[in-house]
Amino acid sequence: MVKKIRLKVLKQFICFSVGLTCWLISFFSLYGANLDFSPSKEERTETASTAVSRLGKAYLIQIKEDFVQLLLAPRKWQGPDIMNLAAVFGTGTVIFTLDQDIFNWIAERRTNFSQSLSKIVTKAGDGAWLLGFCGVLYGLGEIGKNPNWRRVALLSVESLAISSMSVAALKCLIGRARPQAWEGSQSFHPFSFSHRHTSFPSGHASAAFSVAASIAGESENRVIDLTAYSLATLVALARVHDEAHWASDVLVGSALGYFIGRAVVNLHRPEKKRFSLRIYPTSQGWAISLSYLSD
């Protein structure tokens, strides 16, 4: 009896940890914490002054150039950058070992209401719906002659495009079986194009967080930021609820979308003061530094 109670508490703690991790990502974004997964000031100086605010050939060229910069950015990563990356994938690895237990725990608590709600929430991570939202936002910017709305829409589409390409490549490379394939959480089929084997990482979670990060990165309204990240977090949780992904899939997908969205915004962000949070090793253990700086 005691063993069952302990197991129940452990499973509840695991699910709480997954949700908390998503909210920590939101917290860092809301308060401007810089996790340095984007190009340096020198790398983005030129593009920051030439950000495209309208659809056209120049915008497509911008996406290509930004994509290349993001691919090359890791060359200049330093200790703190690598440690932040290790923290994300380290957490993902821990969750990976518990994926089956998390899946079972959620399955036991699924209800008709949660299924109906999940179907609605999931649409916020669908590429077509997100493109439609960005299109409406861009159109309103044109009609109202508001360049900021157009800018947010275009940066969101760019973040969505880059995150989608990244996710597609990883899905094919890793080939993890989805929960609905009933092959277990540790079944992999590298270089598979079957939908059954495209679980890692979650495309919906990545897409939702990439757009949310773009919106929050350009917004100065905390309510908008909180709404964007809350909806993205619900999308991530819904994918696990619907048996479309394992918990580690949505964790890594959410982090990937978030960092790409923030990096794209930073590429075209003018000088701005912000907080910088760094976690790094020392001779006596680990240290955390929080500083206020300007780009």
- What CA–CA distances, in Å, run from 223 to 22, 206, 228, 274? 17, 21, 9, 19
Total count of residues recorded for the chain: 295
| Mean pLDDT along residues 13-24 | 45
CA atoms within 13 A on the CB side of 275: 12
Residue reference for tokens 């959410």: 254
The per-residue pLDDT for 4 is 52
The number of helix segments (H) and strand segments (E) in the chain equals 11, 2
Residue 275 scores a pLDDT above 70: no
Span 74-87, average pLDDT: 72
Which of 72-76, 111-115, 157-161, 273-277 has the least mean pLDDT? 273-277
Q: Give the span between the Cα atoms of 184 and 200, in whole angstroms.
A: 13
Contact (Cβ atoms closer than 8 angstroms) between residue 135 and residue 212: no
**190: number of Cβ within 10 Å:** 10
**Residue that wins the pLDDT comparison between 137 and 4:** 137
Q: What is the mean pLDDT of the chain?
A: 78
Label each residue of 253-283 as H, E or C: HHHHHHHHHHHHHHHCCCCCEEEEEEEEEEC
pLDDT at 92: 82
Is 82's pLDDT higher than 80?
A: no
What is the model's pLDDT at position 285?
58
Please give the pLDDT value at position 269. 74
Looking at per-residue pLDDT, the higher value among 275 and 204 belongs to 204
Residue range 19-39: average pLDDT? Answer: 42
Specify the higher pLDDT residue, 189 or 56.
Answer: 189
pLDDT above 90 coverage of the chain, percent? 39
Residue 178, helix vs strand vs coil: coil
| pLDDT of 228 higher than 90 | yes
Above 70 in pLDDT, residue 218? yes
- Taking 3-state DSSP, the helix, strand and coil percentages for the chain, each rounded to the nearest 5, stand at 70, 10, 20
Confidence of residue 28 (pLDDT cuts 50, 70, 90): very low
Q: Who wins on pLDDT, 17 or 204?
A: 204
Please identify which residue in the block is written with the tokens 């949660």: 114
Is the pLDDT at 184 greater than 60? The verdict is: yes
pLDDT one-digit tens code per residue, 164-181:
999 999 999 999 999 988
Work out the pLDDT band at 278, boundaries 50, 70, 90.
Answer: low
pLDDT tier at 39 (50, 70, 90 boundaries)? very low
CA atoms within 13 Å, Cβ hemisphere of 151: 19
What is the phi/psi pair of residue 6, to 5°? -65, -40
User: End-to-end distance of the chain based on CA atoms, in angstroms?
Assistant: 57
pLDDT at 280: 54
pLDDT band with cut points at 50, 70 and 90 for residue 288: low
Q: How far apart are CA 22 and CA 86, in angstroms?
A: 16
pLDDT at 29: 40
Q: What is the pLDDT of residue 49?
A: 41
